[in-house]
Every structure is written in C-alpha cells, then in structure tokens.
Amino acid sequence: MRTEAEREEANRLFSTGLSAWQITKAMGIPRSTIRDWVEPGRQDRQRYTPVTRLPRKVDFIALPKHDHAYLLGLYLGDGTISGSRRGVYRLRIFMDSRCPKIIGETVRAMQAVMPHNKVNVQKKPYNCVEISCYSKLWPELFPQHGQGPKHTRRIELVPWQERAVARCPWQFVRGLIQSDGCRVINRVNGGEYPRYLFSQVSDDIRKIFCEALDFIGVEWKQNRWNSISVARRQGVELLDSFIGPKA
C-alpha cells in the first residue's frame, strides 16, 4: 500500500518538470502508479483494460531481459498480433529486406523469448520481410494487443513491462528505432550532421518513446506531429553507441 507522503512527493517532483519515467527512477514506484497520481482522471480516459494477469505457463522473471525489451520495442514500432484457431496467436514484425543484420537480431530475439516455437521469415513484396511466430502466450507477453490499429486505441505499458524497460532501456529504444525509426544525415552549409528520427502515428507510442529517451538522458524534439527528432551531438553519439545506421 502506497502512502500519502509518497503521493505528495511524486506530485512535488512532477511540478518541478520531471517526467513520470524520471520520478519512477527516483522513487522506485511503477510508472503507471506515478501517472495515476500526477494525471487526475487518467484512469477514466482509458479506452481498454490491459491484460495484467501473469499466466502460470510463463516465468516472466526467467525471460531473457535484453531480448524481451528489444522485442517489445519492435512490436510497438511495427509489429502486430493476430488471432487464429484454438486460441493461438501470431506475432509478426515487419522489416526492410535490405537490413539483414536487423532481421537477424529480430529472429534471435523472438526465438529467445519463445524458445520452443518456430520463428518464420517470409519475403514480401516491395523490400519487405515478415518475421513471425505462433504462440498462445503473445497477448500475455504484449498486453497492448487489441482490435484495430494501435493509433486508434490506448497504448501503455503495464507495471511489469515498465520494470522490464527500466532494467533494459537501451534495448527497448533500440527496438523502437530499428522498427519505426532511422538515422539520417542533414547537410547544412556544406556540413554533414547525423540525426535520428522516430515516426509513429500513435500519440501513446510516441510518448512512451520520448519517456524512454528521457530515462536514458537523450534530448529530443518533436519536429512534426508524428515524428520525434534527436539532433544534438551528445544525444546522437549516445544513440550511435548502441544503434547506428540500419544495416
């Protein structure tokens, strides 16, 4: 049971300009709890009820933490889960066929998270590759699953996912950028300046991405309504240290 003193401290920190991620890091309280405290009426605005029950068949503590955080980023960026017969679900991640290293990373992460199930790689038209795996457990691992496109429904991390991301924030950001982001070169007055872009029509997923950047100390700006830019040298160098150009 959380105390009133903790709630007051969270609101005090929020009033100083700290994000929910930063308050979570400072206080060790799940981000969903912090957001409930600092955003009045948030629970009433939710458009779906996430799956928070942990199934007996899955040992979440034993999940490979780096691969799971990376796969979560990939799924939120450009993945989908669809149902089939007998309660089996199919996770699909879509990648550019011109990026074999990222395809290989995606296959390895999916296989590590679901080691007893086959991972399939299928070439699609227009330089697209589909990486997929069947399991009854995907909705439990990724409770953001629901009907319709992600941008039409509420998307947020449940508490156990927040803890997983807090343990491996770099892998989570890497997955998001490698699925729905890119590294480009700006040419200004004869100079070349790299920057990272993350494009996503879901307001909730863009917010999750920005909060993860705040958590690892990378400065960002919203350069378009659906795009986040990291252009300052320090932030680019940090992202370069564990992401780099797509390949």
* pLDDT number for residue 55: 44
DSSP 49: -
- Look at residue 37 in the predicted model and tell me its pLDDT: 77
pTM of the model: 0.77
Helices (H), the chain: 4-15, 20-27, 31-38, 42-45, 65-78, 100-113, 138-141, 159-167, 169-180, 203-216, 233-240
Report pLDDT digits (tens) over 18-56: 777 778 888 888 777 787 777 755 444 444 444 444 444
Q: What is the pLDDT of residue 57?
A: 59
On whether the CB atoms of residues 109 and 77 are closer than 8 A, the answer is: no
Read off the tokens for 89.
């679900």
Q: Determine the pLDDT at residue 51.
A: 44
Q: What is the pLDDT of residue 58?
A: 61
How far apart are alpha carbons 59 and 68 in whole angstroms? 13
Contacts of 213 (CB under 8 A, 6+ apart): 173, 219, 220, 228, 230, 235
* Rounded Cα–Cα distance for residues 117 and 110 (Å): 9
Domains with residue ranges and CATH for the chain: 1-45 (1.10.10), 175-240 (3.10.28.10)
Judge residue 93's burial from the number of C-beta atoms within 10 Å of its C-beta, 0-12 exposed, 13-18 middle, 19 or more buried: buried
Strand 191-199 with 181-188, pairing: antiparallel
User: Side chain identity at 201, as an amino acid letter?
Assistant: V
Contacts 24+ apart (CB under 8 A), 39-48: 45/154, 46/154, 47/153, 47/154, 48/146, 48/153, 48/154
Q: Residue ranges of the chain with pLDDT lower than 70? A: 1-2, 40-61
Q: Residue 219 and residue 75: Cα distance in Å, rounded?
A: 24
